[in-house]
A and B are shown apart, each in its own frame.
Chain A
Amino acid sequence: MRYLLAVGAAGLLLASCSDGAPGEATEAQQGDGTDTVDLAEFPDRPYWGDTHLHTDVSVDAFGFGVRLGPEEALRFARGEEVTATTGMKAQLDRPLDFLVIADHSDAMGATRRLYDAPRMMVRDPTLRRWYDMMHESPEQSTRAVAELITAAANDEIPEAFRDPERQAAATRELWDRHLDVLDRYNEPGRFTAFAGFEWTLMPSGNNLHRVVMFRDGSAKTREVLPYPGLDGDVTGLWDYMDAYEETTGGKVLAIPHNSNLSNGQMFELVGPDGGAMSAQYARRRAAREPVVEATQIKGDSETHPFLSPNDEFASFGVAGWELGNLPLTERSTPDMYAGSYLRSALLRGLTLEERLGVNPYAFGLIGSTDSHTALATGDEDNFFGKHTGNEPSAERAMDAQNLGTRQGRFGWHYLAGGYAAAWARGNTRAEIFDAFMRREVYATTGPRMVLRLFAGHDFAASDWGGDWVRAGYTRGVPMGGELEDTGRAPTFLISALKDPDGANLDRVQVVKGWVDAGGEAQEKVFDVAWSAREMDGASDSPVPPVGDTVDRLRATYKNTIGAAELRATWTDPEYRRGQRAFYYVRVLEIPTPSWVLYDAVRFGLKLPDNVIEANVIQERAYSSPVWLRPKNRPQTRPQVGDAPPIMEAE
């Protein structure tokens, strides 16, 4: 008893001596960054970031064991060394330029509060059982959260956890403190800390999650609370976003992710009620969701071999994740894939546009981590795991990793990766957010390749000799833009630089999607540049494989193959007048070891052959598309330097 008295006495002493508020951010740090830094004339470099990071504020992340909060997450992203939950020192070789901490809005902070609550206050039998499991051991805690996610997916979450009214007071306190921390770390010109959260819509376990990202500082974001929403449909989120913009004059966008786990529901052809999609719905979606997360730890959503049988690189990050929805409570069938993967969604957008006059799925592409460790790691040799339960250890590579079942997905199915690159004129909230709005962003699976894409009608190879970036902006449109269809085939200036600290490049491809004369959606992948190697003569013969220098036993590779930079001036040879089409660029690296092989070396693992082969990978970048815009139709997205658009509330 005296033991406890000592703790109590010390606690009182400390409380009574507390002498003031936390350090306050400057005015510049609290705002959106307008007029705080000198801006480049045109976006002059990609800014690197993660828009999808969870900390101990997230219901699941805390339950999975993470004990690092937003402050540690920000320190880590800025390049400082932190100690991971499981005790290892963690640091990024190269810091990030921006970060969106996207903790789940549902029951924000609730597992932490549950964990810290006196047991007797926990009256709900389910919550009490989870409480006991969380305190018993890390394994039991992980199991409790798996149950929690499955319960959420099945609509069986205890009332005390799901009722927003009950959560509101606690969330308010937490959100206010969080926004203060974000402002303190937000440093215009050097590092941008965005306010955001994850909205976890998941009917029947089908993943319709969105990351919500604000352009503004705390003066505006304090006016709202993160919007919870296990129920309802996506229009509820858009109503919330409309209301925020109307009330505060601020700006906010949403980023769908893990469409690969949506069982075809993320990019449906129908409206949210199952009826025909309305033009109004399409317009709102296009306005609210300018970009989609294409790749992250839980798999890659670009395309699937079933949808793209002629694309030999279509299977990246598909294994394990194609089996079913998020908690694997419902299996996927091939007819669902078209609504789950981005390339077919972009095609559906063209088809829907023909009918509705507006394209709901004209989005740009980014990557992010979705790490639940508070550590935004995207590199294969520095992978800290999806959640704290699989921070580096000898077991994680081969462990079953399923939430709802015991089969199907294993540790090695996780990808180490996902970063977002934004072409912006400066590192501020406003500039990077606006790059997202105009889709001048791209995705990588982790490496920091520098990828540029311009589309125009009068580009020529000679442009490379001059100021081609200026040419790109003044005589064409950058990635994410819309090029007016003049009746002439579009020409693209494409430049891809390897990650200076990473692997060489194998090839650059253009992925084209279009609607043919019969109204059918078509896709084709063109190789447009590759490192010098012999072709076998015929002009349409495929580019031979680049080779493979990966030492499977040592987890090493050599940059003796591939190229440092690849450029192309490419004109679409299959263009037809009036054809409605999109074009995006995919850049492939030479084969390299994935995190699983690095783990094998680090922990002396003996891996099965199929696992080793599946973990020699070609990492990649995906640009946002450029669309051909029918003549005389106005531009639907803002351009560089435009004021952000005023969204119509409907």
Chain B
Amino acid sequence: MIRSALRDPLAHFLLAGAAIWGVLALAGEPVDPAERSITLSREQQAGLALAFERTMGRAPTDAELDARVDQWVREEVLYREALRLGLDEGDPVVRRRLATKMDELAGAEAELARPTEAQLAEWYRDHGTDYERGGILNFEQAWFPTREAALAARGEDRPQGQSTSLPRTMAKADREDIARAFGTAFADEMLALSVARDWQGPIRSGYGWHLVQLYHREEGSVPPLEEVRDRAERDWRGRTIQARREKAYQLLRDAYTIEIE
């Protein structure tokens, strides 16, 4: 467990981040960029060129790139001096942007990742019930405008009810199918019924009252992973991003003593 955790890039992020943040937090010192050397790496220069290209639709000329580099250095110097003066503090825009960036970094890895079979299987073990189909029913129904009318017809061999455009029978219908046709309350009541030879009810729907004959029912079951693989993978990704952000935040937050007066 520990070994696999150590291979997890999130753990690297957290450890690196926590170490540095921890030092900062423990030392309690203000941001003090004692280091007065500035290095603009090849990658950063390529980044400048790319940003230029994105805005202008073509690569920069050497002169244009030089101008960008000069500008970058100028901004970097002023930026460091601004930090030195503490100008970043109390600026909501700076605060929010950096916070968002940290969040996105924590989630970024998972946004592109594809879970391994083992990860997906583990996810599915823990969340399988999310994919449960809540019972599959075959039934026949008869519609009545009032409860009294339905009760009066209950003794009939095969109650007809009044003619409507509602489906007389539904086969292999799950909760969503039933709710779509008869409403959510009716669907929940149907799912609570047991199979019986007799007509049951009356059950209320958005339309009125129904006598129903439930003649087949498959209990709710968790489909095998193969059937819901895509959804499981999407869910894994979505929740992993969320979880990583939360974990990263918690780890960082734990390094602080927070007092809200």
Chain A residues engaging chain B, CB cutoff 8 angstroms: 1-3, 5-7, 9-11, 13-14, 17-23, 25-26, 29, 45, 71, 75, 79, 93-95, 113, 117-118, 120-123, 135-136, 160, 163, 165-170, 184-185, 187, 448, 450, 452, 464-465, 495, 497-502, 564-565, 567
Contacts and interface: CB of A to CB of B under 8 A. Distances in A.
Given A10-B16, A120-B71, A165 B33 contact: no
Given A1-B80, A136-B93, A170-B54, A94 B180 contact: yes
The residue in A29, A120, A499 that gathers the most chain B C-beta atoms within 10 A of its C-beta is A120
B112 A22 contact: yes
The residue in B16, B21, B68, B208 that gathers the most chain A C-beta atoms within 10 A of its C-beta is B16
Interface stretch (B190-198, B211-219, B233-241): B233-241
B109 A17 contact: yes
> Interface size for chain B: under 10, 10 to 19, 20 to 34, or 35 or more residues?
35 or more
B33 A1 contact: yes
10 contacts: A1-B32, A2-B20, A6-B21, A10-B16, A14-B9, A17-B9, A18-B109, A495-B165, A500-B206, A564-B207
A564 B145 contact: yes
A567 B163 CA distance: 11
Contacts of B85: none
A13 B206 contact: no
A430 B232 CA distance: 26
Given A22-B114, A502-B206, A2 B31 contact: yes
B90 to A, nearest CB: 15
A20 B207 contact: no
Contacts of A564: 145, 164, 206-208
A18 B176 contact: no
A21 B13 CA distance: 21
B209 to A, nearest CB: 10
Interface of B: 9, 12-13, 16-17, 20-21, 24, 31-33, 35, 51-57, 68, 71-72, 75, 80, 83, 93, 97-98, 101-102, 105, 108-109, 112-114, 145, 163-166, 176, 179-186, 205-208, 230, 233-234, 237-238
Contacts, number: 151
Contacts of B75: 120
A495 B105 CA distance: 55
A10 B164 contact: no
Contacts of A21: 112, 114
The residue in A7, A26, A123, A448 that gathers the most chain B C-beta atoms within 10 A of its C-beta is A7
A75 B55 contact: no
A211 to B, nearest CB: 25
A501 B55 contact: no
Contacts of A185: 234
Contacts of B207: 497-498, 500, 564-565
B97 A135 contact: yes
The residue in B55, B71, B108 that gathers the most chain A C-beta atoms within 10 A of its C-beta is B55
Given A184-B230, A497-B165, A5 B20 contact: yes
B229 to A, nearest CB: 9
A6 B52 contact: no
B243 to A, nearest CB: 14
B113 A163 contact: no
A118 B48 CA distance: 9
Contact of B205 (A167, A184, A500): A500
Given A19-B113, A497-B207, A564-B145, A13 B16 contact: yes
B183 A501 contact: yes
A499 B97 CA distance: 45
Q: Pick the 10 closest A-B CB pairs, nearest first.
A: A500-B183, A1-B33, A500-B206, A17-B9, A166-B57, A564-B207, A6-B20, A10-B13, A23-B233, A495-B165
B238 A75 contact: yes
Contacts of B113: 18-20, 22
Contacts of A135: 93, 97
Given A11-B105, A118-B51, A498-B206, A165 B114 contact: no
